[in-house]
Amino acid sequence: MANIHITGRCDCGATAGPLGTCVDYYHGILAEEQSDPQMYRWHAPVVLTYLLQHPSLAHEKYLDNQFRQLQLYVDQGLDALLRLAAHQVARNNHRARLGYDMAPLAAYAPLPQGEPPSHFRASFSGLPFRDDSFVSDGHLAYGDRIKAIAEATVESWRSAQT
């Protein structure tokens, strides 16, 4: 983290934006979405993307599953990811005790082994923040920006395979 202040760059390779580095944007998004149910719909892709762009802040044992979920989101969209989350919550119900179901994610590539990508073509520090909001130009525009960051994340991890 000390590098960020010296170089003006985030761990993911992004240049700091007006709010700071990606962590500042991430915390701002998390705070704003608490009071905006429409914005909160993108909570899962925000968390998945942030952790995959900053894997040193994530739990390594979950990164493969998170990468697969992010691929599902990029491939099938937000509604598919939200359905998967609801399915997993239902399976994890204390009465059901079925555990996590990996079958819906089996078609997606595992997280590449080795060093994580050091650069992404889109990152959180590039998000516009106007009128004290990430959604000042509408929720769909915000969702499009989150999807673009997710696509850039999947793209960079896939290129790390080769």
Average pLDDT for 30-54: 97
Percent of the chain with pLDDT over 90: 78
Residue 107 has pLDDT above 90, yes or no: yes
The 10s digit of each residue's pLDDT in 139-158 is: 999 999 999 999 999 999 99
Residue 39 has pLDDT above 80, yes or no: yes
pLDDT number for residue 5: 45
Average pLDDT for 124-130: 96
Long-range (24+ apart) CB contacts under 8 A made by 47-51 are 48/73, 48/150, 49/124, 49/146, 49/149, 49/150, 49/153, 50/22, 50/26, 50/124
Average pLDDT for 26-55: 97
Confidence of residue 95 (pLDDT cuts 50, 70, 90): low
Residue 98 has pLDDT above 90, yes or no: no
Percent of the chain with pLDDT over 70: 90
> By the 8 A CB rule, do 162 and 128 touch?
no
Query: Which phi and psi angles does 9 have, rounded to 5°?
Result: -120, 150
